[in-house]
Amino acid sequence: MGYNYVSLIVTILLVVITSPVVFGNDAAPIPENKGRIEQWFNTNVPSLASRKSTSDPALLTAEAKPRIIKA
């Protein structure tokens, strides 16, 4: 019984220690004022041309013909 308990604790610790950790960066949060969103976007989102070498080919295909959906 004791060995199983120790094994369970070790397994849980290994899962917790080796699980990926994601940190958010709110240094430039999206502004609440709609008039400033375009400026924020141009400052914080790199152009498609600068991302071509590191992007997924399916994403590049989708971005080549963007569609604007208006609600």
Residues in the chain: 71
pLDDT digits (tens, 9 = 90+) for 13-25: 988 888 887 777 7
Does residue 35 carry a pLDDT above 90? yes
pLDDT band at 33 (very low <50, low <70, confident <90, very high): very high
Contact 52, 60 (CB under 8 A): yes
* DSSP assigned state of 39: H
pLDDT of residue 1: 56
pLDDT of residue 11: 92
